[in-house]
Structure 1
């Protein structure tokens, strides 16, 4: 498997279009929608992030194991990977069993999600609307569409694992670009037609249908369909048994990460006004976008890193990681500085109904930088098919929630407390622990940074 610079460029292009659709749409949202509606949209966005926790880490595990299959392994292991038979060919019986296990898993978790959103989710939304002054009917219609979108998206999530695991990064990102162009077009037209929140969720639905339909056609080419039809698949129970332990570990880790990075919106919405939540939500969204761009420098190469681990080429892994981390941090610092210095003037220019708090912006930027490096390190570690950060992640998540509650109940920090809690907890352990693990495993020295950045030598 070879991930090239072209794949990286397409990943950047896809992220650019994803962000462009958000950035170009953001002034329209802030100008056309009342601040309360922006607050509700921030809650919707946080729930959308929460939705993927029900996947419980299986998508990342499925993606890694798809990579192993296309790298020539003949069996999937709970820890590490099979190195006994590397023929270079694909074991289609194993692939068929893996596909069967994905479909079995996602059909059940998507049904679970549907029931949770329909019951607990609707109760939560109805509570938020107690102090809402707009059209509640439109919000409930938007919520109904939101449930449909996320149920379908989760049910078909394994297409992401298939494309990325096979190394079809370029194809995956081209599809993403098309989907976000559709999102931008539909949402812009619908907002100007006066559909408000409904416009945003309707555009998401159309975008996801386009992405999933094309993804299915691109992965299942004529050769794969023929091979799968003419082989007997491995037992899906055996496949799930191999994947389950690390998937659950990764899922618990993701839950901890969510509690650290995303719980502020949910807890804050119980103590602060929707207008205040809107301000924090926009701040967090802009920093999350910057983190997403920065992550590309390493995330694009994760399938290749997993493949290189099978071949034992650790010098090449070191070079990829160092270059990626340096680029990621430069991108984030540049983007965050731009937002800090130009964010407020731009919002004033577009006559936004929602404003930023400069102190909160600075603290969120600092917390996001810590989370960026911790997350990159965790992703690199997970390519070993080994998840060591389960307990620290969940403990950090619980600690973040407790600290948020303490801030709200016993201080007047408000939005500043929402911004401070994640960074403070990350600094206690995870913010330095996992970068240090990667440095020790790959034996990274300062001289390696110079070698890779200056390209004075290229590891094989």
Structure 2
């Protein structure tokens, strides 16, 4: 009885920490908004959102390797003798001791992969991104020199972020889920608090990007303590390079599919900012980015019930419990709709008044365009929830639609921006592409599964 109670408490503690990490992950960026929009010009805010979106794009360059590394480390620590390109390989007895050597090779492969990825992305952003950022600074009448310095520092921050991406697979693969959430909380919350302090002290774009570098270093030092003892007597830094290369080739095939889906998702939801900033103006790009940030944060919060329901959904599938599966799915979808609609009403009608009250240099999109964007994000959230449900059956059927939709949105946004069609047309195009297939296809598939079971 006591053992069952301890397990129950630990499970709920992990869930509470996980929920806190999710809230902080999306809320930390929002916490900066009131301080940023009252101290930076509209063009500077727009440039900051370009910086942040570039960081998001850099993270997409992971190409789906994080879950592959996580799975590989977990299998090694479960006692697997080797990792397979497909499937899980031969069954591992429950009493099999951890294969620390294989785990160390997986960690070494992850560290090597992310180190070279960081170097490559940094060089690309410095060479290709600096002229683009310079052009936007001149367009927005912002000090070119200060923006260029800030961009170089931001590239360093992005490089650090990428080079540390191996930490989460180590913590998650070793079962240290709570520690991984603590790592996320420390990273996000520290930047939010330090960023607010910097802004209140009169810091500029350079100071804000420097704060991001400092918080990355702090989080890395904390992670060192959280990972202590994971590999037993092994040291990933002493692993032979050929072993690390062999393991990378083993994990690469499965990583590519989810990486392509992630890139497609970025093109659908984030790429329009580049087209708007380039052709409509960096200040208007800031208006769009702020509006999208609020709606995407709301959507993420509304999707938490579906994420929390994941263990119940998987358990119901395994047990072929039709009633429980239907109840969990429908409940999560209803909760999403209620949370999102109420939150969207707040953003549409209360947030503009709040921004005006605090003397913001940046407003939200005009109400009709903002309402259109809110509706598009609502449909995105519905089909993302449905896709999440579909993956609980170990099925990922949306690779090609994700990539094709992302390419169509990006190409259309560039063409509309170049032709002078305006921001509403770009937003409408994004919604039209998604409505043509993804918005209805995956909810329909999910509901057919519910009806069939």
Residue correspondence of structure 1 range 324-363 to structure 2 within 5 A:
324-356=332-364, 357-363=366-372
Structure 2 CA distance for aligned equivalents of residues 431 and 69 of structure 1: 39
Aligned-residue RMSD, C-alpha: 3.3
Show the 5 A alignment for 1:213-224: 213-221=221-229, 224=231
Say which SS state the counterpart of residue 38 (structure 2) adopts: helix
Question: TM (normalized to structure 1)?
Answer: 0.84
Alpha-carbon distance change, 411 to 152 in structure 1, aligned in 2, over 3 angstroms: closer
Whether the aligned pair in 1 keeps the contact of 2:58 and 2:121 (CA below 8 Å) is yes
Partner of 2:127: 119
- Residues 375-396 of structure 1: CA distance to partner in whole angstroms, max 9, x if unpaired? 3444555567664322221111
Comparing 314-323 with 31-40, greater Cα deviation is found at: 314-323
1:234-273 paired onto structure 2 within 5 Å: 235-273=243-281
TM-score, normalization by structure 2: 0.85
Unmatched 5+ stretches in structure 1: 449-460
Deviation at 1:341, TM superposition (A): 2.4
C-alpha displacement of 1:16: 2.8
Residues 1:53 and 2:76 are matched in the alignment: no
Equivalent position of 2:113 in the other structure: 105
- Kindly indicate whether residue 400 of structure 2 is the aligned counterpart of residue 394 of structure 1: no
Query: Structure 2 regions of 5+ residues with no counterpart?
Result: 1-6
Q: Cα offset for 1:55?
A: 1.1
Are residues 1:277 and 2:285 paired? yes
Q: 1:203 and 1:424, CA in 2 relative to 1: closer, same or farther beyond 3 A?
A: same
- Per the alignment, residue 457 of structure 1 pairs with none
Contact 1:80–1:385 (Cα < 8 Å) also in 2: no
Please point out which of 423, 427, 430 is paired with 1:419: 427
Give the conservation status (yes or no) of the 8 Å contact 2:104–2:234: no
Q: Does 1:444 align with 2:450?
A: yes
Q: In 2 relative to 1, CA 271–138 (structure 1 residues): closer, same or farther, beyond 3 Å?
A: same
Change (3 A) 1:11 1:47: same
CA contact 1:246–1:385 (8 Å) conserved in 2: no
Matched with 2:232 is 225
The superposition leaves residues 396-444 of structure 1 with CA deviations (integer Å, 9 ceiling, x where unpaired) of 11111232244335574x221232222221122222333444455xx42
Asked whether 1:12 is paired with 2:19, we answer yes
The aligned counterpart of 1:159 is 167
Distance 1:194 1:136, change over 3 A: farther
The Cα of 1:26 is off from its aligned counterpart by: 0.9
Match of 2:4 in 1: none
C-alpha deviation, 1:30, in angstroms:
0.7
- SS of the residue corresponding to residue 81 of structure 1 reads coil
1:39-50 matches, within 5 Å, as 39-50=46-57
Answer whether contact 1:79 1:385 (CA < 8 A) is retained. no
Deviation at 1:227, TM superposition (A): 5.7
Instruction: Tell me how far apart the structure 2 counterparts of residues 262 and 18 of structure 1 sit (CA, whole Å).
Output: 18
Separation (CA, whole Å) in 1 of partners of 2:341 and 2:419: 33
1:39 CA displacement: 0.8
Structure 2 CA distance for partners of 1:200 and 1:27, relative to 1, 3 Å: same
Using the TM superposition, give the Cα deviation of residue 298 of structure 1 relative to its aligned residue in structure 2, in angstroms: 4.2
Distance 1:92 1:377 in 2: 38
Once residues 387 and 262 of structure 2 are traced to their aligned partners in structure 1, the CA distance between those partners, rounded to angstroms, is: 11
Does residue 193 in structure 1 map to residue 201 in structure 2? yes
**1:29 aligns with one of 26, 29, 36:** 36
Is residue 408 of structure 1 aligned with residue 414 of structure 2? no
- Identify if the C-alpha distance between structure 1 residues 73 and 216 changes in structure 2 by more than 3 Å, giving closer, same or farther: same
Q: Helix, strand or coil: the match of 1:252?
A: helix
Counterpart of 2:381?
372
* Structure 1, 342-351 or 326-335: larger mean CA deviation: 326-335
User: CA, structure 1 residues 232+438, in 2 after alignment: closer, same or farther (shift >3 Å)?
Assistant: farther
Residue 7 of structure 1: how far off its partner (Å): 2.4
8 Å CA contact 2:78, 2:92 repeated in 1? no
User: Offset at 1:337?
Assistant: 2.6
Q: Aligned partners of 1:209, 1:352: CA distance in 2, in Å?
A: 32
